[in-house]
Chains A and B, each alone.
Chain A
Amino acid sequence: MPVVALRKVSKKFGKHVVLDNVDLEVAKGEVVAIVGRSGSGKSTLLRCINGLEFIDSGEIAVNGRRVTRNLADLRRLHREVGIVFQSYNLFPHLTVERNVELGPTKGKGIPLGAARKLAHDALAAVHLTDKLNDYPARLSGGQQQRVAIARALAMEPVLLLFDEITSALDPQLTGEVVRVLEELAAQGRTMILVTHEMGFARRAASQIVFMHNSRIWEHGPPQQVLENPKNPEFQTFLSAILRN
């Protein structure tokens, strides 16, 4: 059973089609990199997978259960799917430790002692155990983003979603975040990333998905897809990225 399965998923914002008949399957342990130009529907796809947006037609299943608008189902979905955003979105009034343990304690109802252990393990995974008592405003962008990753990890999700998480960071900070992503991929975690980091996608992804105009045009293993792009739009996209 795939961790995520999308079948004929379509969605509009008003008249504007953002997802057009999208099919996608992600097996356990897969790392899927979704690439494509801005506005091609990549972020909306992620947001639909964890119920932040709802689809108009088709079906999304996570861990074999359909994503619905039912509040109790959505809460369970959020225990299974972690997401990290481009703008970190840490809770500014809480310390790093409290940011990370809030989900386990108040989201999953885990006792504080066990939740703190989860939080510390998650922060260790992103190499930030020395920042437990700092407030987010005191951290660099890269550190804040790693805390956001830890916040998602502490929920022990079966699937992690990353929505352009390095786009707001300078190259050096991007490097430290990408390193964490590569470590997570190496641990066999199931991940879907919207990313412009083609180097990372090539090294760590098991599947690259190219989206354009709300549809998936090409997908497959990085070597196959990147060496031999069939779609002219994808060729243009790749050459634009490689020129930079």
Chain B
Amino acid sequence: MRTFGPSEFAFLLAAVRWTLLLSLVAFCGGIAFGFLIALARVSRFFVLRGLAQAYIQVFQGTPVLIQLFIAYYGFAVLFDLRIEAWTAVSLAFTAYSAAFLGEIWRGAIQAIPRQQWESAECISLSYFAQLRYVILPQAFRISIPPTVGFLVQLVKATSVAAIIGFIELTRAGQLMTNVTFQPMIIYPIVAALYFVICWPLSQFSRLLERRFDASRGITQGL
């Protein structure tokens, strides 16, 4: 039997990169797709609004674990296609974060007073120019703290990927526990590694929240 030593620690540390990579992929994919979701949510087209809303409700109203199972097994069952765990988890977490980020940004866009849209319209800006030059820059500032806050949640949520055998930090912890039988050494270290990633992000988020305090109105410059 192995005992916990430097090489076991190195194994955990190496798995951190997969947690980070998965978080990063899900976050970036979520930004791109979530942006489209947010735009659809505030669109003047009834159908687009409905579709985006349905998407958000489904992904916010079901556990990410089940979404993961469906992504993993769904391809095999529906298309007779075996996909790798990595593909499944990155797809599932991208879809998941798109729903949450889309909803955060919808709120930010709708927090901008209607008069801002009107004023932009009245200087002959097209709909997209109104969004790009007037609405989104203001919504962006409002949405930074909740967006970073969500990123912290996302990093922790990726631990669920362990279940389908994707070897990220939590799965690496399980594997090391299986060979060392030292769960009370391994898991606190795993927790500490998550903390090391998330704590600076939380602090960053708090800093941004103070900086963009809603009660002070919009702060100039980032």
Contact = CB atoms under 8 A, between A and B. Distances in A.
Interface of A: 50, 52, 71, 74-76, 78-79, 81-83, 85, 87, 89-93, 102-103, 106-108, 135, 137, 151-152, 155
Given A102-B133, A106-B129, A106-B133, A89 B115 contact: yes
14 contacts: A74-B121, A75-B124, A78-B122, A78-B123, A78-B124, A82-B122, A83-B122, A87-B115, A102-B134, A106-B123, A106-B129, A135-B220, A152-B123, A155-B124
B20 interface: no
A89 B121 contact: no
Interface range, B side: 20 to 34
Given A85-B115, A85-B119, A87-B115, A93 B137 contact: yes
A5 B92 CA distance: 58
A102 B220 contact: no
B141 to A, nearest CB: 7
B119 A92 contact: no
B134 A91 contact: yes
B113 to A, nearest CB: 8
B121 A78 contact: yes
Given A102-B123, A102-B125, A93 B115 contact: no
Contacts of B118: 52, 85, 89
Interface in B151-193: none
Given A93-B138, A93-B141, A93-B218, A155 B115 contact: no
A151 B119 CA distance: 10
Given A106-B129, A135-B220, A137-B217, A91 B122 contact: no
B116 interface: yes
Interface string B178-222: 000000000000000000000000000000000000000110100
- Of the listed residues A76, A82, A92, the one surrounded by the most CB atoms of chain B closer than 10 A to its CB is A92
B122 A50 contact: yes
A82 B126 CA distance: 16
A21 B61 CA distance: 52
Given A76-B124, A78-B121, A106-B123, 11 more contacts: A52-B121, A83-B122, A89-B113, A91-B134, A92-B218, A103-B123, A106-B125, A106-B129, A107-B129, A137-B220, A155-B123
For the complex of A and B, the 10 pairs showing the least CB-CB separation, nearest first, are: A103-B123, A107-B124, A78-B124, A89-B119, A89-B115, A107-B123, A79-B124, A92-B218, A106-B129, A93-B137
Nearest to A103: B123
Contacts of B113: 89
